[in-house]
C-alpha cells in the first residue's frame, strides 16, 4: 500500500531532524550571536567524519546539514559530545536511506516525483536567482512604468450616485418631494422610486446606479450639471432636489459612495513597482527558459489514449500513489520588502 511506503519515506526524512536522546539540558539557554565560524580549506571540508558502507559523511556535509537549523538549534551542538549526537543522527539517516533503497523505494513513483520536484526547484532557483533580481531593475525602468501608468497612482475624487430620471420638471418635483421623505432615507426606498418613476431604461436596469463619477475625467453619458450636483452633495445618503440636466431630462440623485482623491508620488510607489516588475520579468524569463527547453525536447502526445483516461469522481481513495499534478515550484526568492 502507498500509505506504508509513504510512512517509511517520512521515517527516513525525519530521522536526521529528530532530537537525539541525550543527558544535555536542551532547555537551558545558550549564548547566541557569537562570532562567525572561521573559513575552512577544501581539505578540511572534505575530511571524513564517518562511513556508512560506501557513503562518506564529511565535515562539509555535517556543517551544511547543521547550518540549515535555526541559530538556537545550532547552539545546542557546540561540544564534542553534542556533535557526536548530531553525527549519529546523520548515520541513522544514511542507514535508513540505504534500507529504503534496498527495498526499492528509490523507484517508487511517489519518491521519484518528490525527487523531481526538489530537482526542479533547485534548477529554477539556480537559473534565475542571479539573473533576475529586484536590484537588476533600474530606476529608469521604474520611472517609465510609473509615468505610463499614472492612473494607478493619481486618482481624482469620485462620487457614486443613483438617479431617478424623468422628462417632466413637474413630475421631477413630485419625485423629489417623495425622495426628501422616508423613501429617500434608505437605498431600498430610493430603488423603489427608480422602479416606479424613472424613464431612462438603461439606468433603470441598474436600479438607477450611475456608478462612480469624476469631475476630472467626466463620463460622456452623464451630463455635466448632474456631475456637478453630485459633487455638491456632502455625505453618503444625501438626496438632491431637482437637477436640470440641460438636455430635456431631470434628475433626482442619492449619494451611495465616495472615494477620496489619491496621489502617490514616484517615491511612494517605487517599492511596489519594483516588486511588480521583478515578478513580471521573472515570470517572462521562466517562460522563455521553459519554451527553449520544450523546443529541444522530443515530445509526443497520444491524444487517442488521453481520451481513454477515466476520472473517478466518487471521492473514494483507491490504492493509488496520490501523485499531484506536476507543476513548476513556487518562486523561492521572496519579493522585496515595500
**Per-residue pLDDT averaged across 104-126, rounded?**
94
Q: In terms of pLDDT, which residue wins out, 28 or 127? A: 127
Quick one: pLDDT at residue 72? 85
pLDDT of the residue at 34: 59
Q: How confident is the model at residue 69 (pLDDT cuts 50, 70, 90)?
A: confident
Query: Comparing 52 with 9, which gets the higher pLDDT?
Result: 52
> Would the pLDDT of 131 be above 90?
no
- 7: exposed, middle or buried (C-beta count within 10 Å: 0-12, 13-18, 19+)? exposed
Q: Mean pLDDT across the stretch 78-93?
A: 90
Mean pLDDT of the chain: 84
pLDDT at 242 over 90: yes
More confident call, 338 vs 317: 317
Which pLDDT value is given to residue 320? 47
Q: Average the pLDDT over 107-122 and give the result.
A: 94
C-alpha cell at 317: 481513495
pLDDT of residue 38: 75
pLDDT band at 325 (very low <50, low <70, confident <90, very high): very low
DSSP letter assigned to residue 330: P
* Best-predicted range by mean pLDDT (63-72, 162-171, 329-338): 162-171
156-160, 192-196, 326-330: least confidently modelled range:
326-330
Q: What is the pLDDT averaged over residues 181-209?
A: 95
How buried is residue 335: exposed, middle or buried, by Cβ count under 10 Å (0-12/13-18/19+)?
middle
Angle between helices 169-179 and 187-197 (to 10 degrees): 160
Neighbours of 267 (CB within 10 A): 8
User: CA-based Rg of the chain, rounded to a whole angstrom?
Assistant: 34
How far is residue 7's CA from residue 168's CA, in Å, rounded to a whole number? 80
3-class secondary-structure state, position 159: strand
Residue whose entry in the numeric block shows the C-alpha cell 537559473: 127
Q: Which domains does the chain have, with CATH numbers?
A: 2-29+39-123 (no CATH), 136-152+266-277 (no CATH), 157-260 (3.10.50.40)
Measured distance CA(329)–CA(42) in Å, rounded: 32
Residue 19, pLDDT > 90, answer no
CA nearest 12: which of 110, 81, 79?
110
Amino acid at each position: 500500500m502507498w500509505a506504508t511506503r509513504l510512512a517509511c519515506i517520512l521515517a527516513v526524512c525525519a530521522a536526521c531532524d529528530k532530537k537525539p536522546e541525550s543527558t544535555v539540558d536542551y532547555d537551558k539557554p545558550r549564548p547566541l550571536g557569537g562570532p562567525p565560524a572561521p573559513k575552512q580549506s577544501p581539505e578540511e571540508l572534505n575530511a571524513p567524519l564517518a562511513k556508512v558502507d560506501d557513503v562518506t559523511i564529511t565535515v562539509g556535509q555535517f556543517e551544511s546539514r547543521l547550518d540549515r537549523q535555526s541559530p538556537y538549534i545550532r547552539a545546542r551542538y557546540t561540544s564534542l559530545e553534542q556533535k557526536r549526537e548530531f553525527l549519529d543522527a546523520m548515520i541513522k539517516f544514511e542507514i535508513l536511506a540505504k534500507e529504503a533503497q534496498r527495498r526499492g523505494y528509490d523507484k517508487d513513483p511517489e519518491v521519484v516525483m518528490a525527487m523531481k520536484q526538489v530537482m526542479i526547484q533547485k534548477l529554477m532557483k539556480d537559473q534565475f536567482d542571479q539573473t533576475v533580481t529586484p536590484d537588476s531593475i533600474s530606476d529608469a525602468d521604474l520611472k517609465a512604468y510609473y509615468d505610463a501608468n499614472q492612473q494607478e497612482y493619481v486618482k481624482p475624487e469620485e462620487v457614486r450616485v443613483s438617479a431617478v430620471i424623468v422628462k417632466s420638471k413637474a413630475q421631477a418635483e413630485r419625485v423629489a418631494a417623495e425622495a426628501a421623505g422616508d423613501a429617500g432615507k434608505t437605498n431600498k426606498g430610493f430603488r423603489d422610486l427608480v422602479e416606479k418613476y424613472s424613464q431612462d431604461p438603461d439606468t433603470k436596469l441598474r436600479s438607477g446606479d450611475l456608478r462612480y463619477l469624476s469631475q476630472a475625467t467626466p463620463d460622456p453619458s452623464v451630463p455635466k450639471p448632474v456631475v456637478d450636483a453630485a459633487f455638491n452633495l456632502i455625505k453618503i445618503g444625501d438626496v438632491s432636489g431637482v437637477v436640470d440636466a440641460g438636455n430635456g431630462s431631470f434628475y433626482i440623485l442619492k449619494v451611495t459612495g465616495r472615494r477620496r482623491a489619491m496621489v502617490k508620488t514616484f517615491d511612494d510607489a517605487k517599492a511596489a513597482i519594483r516588486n511588480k516588475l521583478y515578478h513580471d520579468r521573472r515570470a517572462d524569463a521562466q517562460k522563455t527558459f521553459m519554451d527553449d527547453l520544450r523546443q529541444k525536447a522530443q515530445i509526443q502526445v497520444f491524444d487517442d489514449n488521453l481520451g481513454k483516461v477515466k476520472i473517478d469522481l466518487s471521492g473514494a481513495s483507491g490504492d493509488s500513489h496520490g501523485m499531484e499534478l506536476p507543476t513548476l515550484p513556487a518562486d523561492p526568492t521572496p519579493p522585496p520588502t515595500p
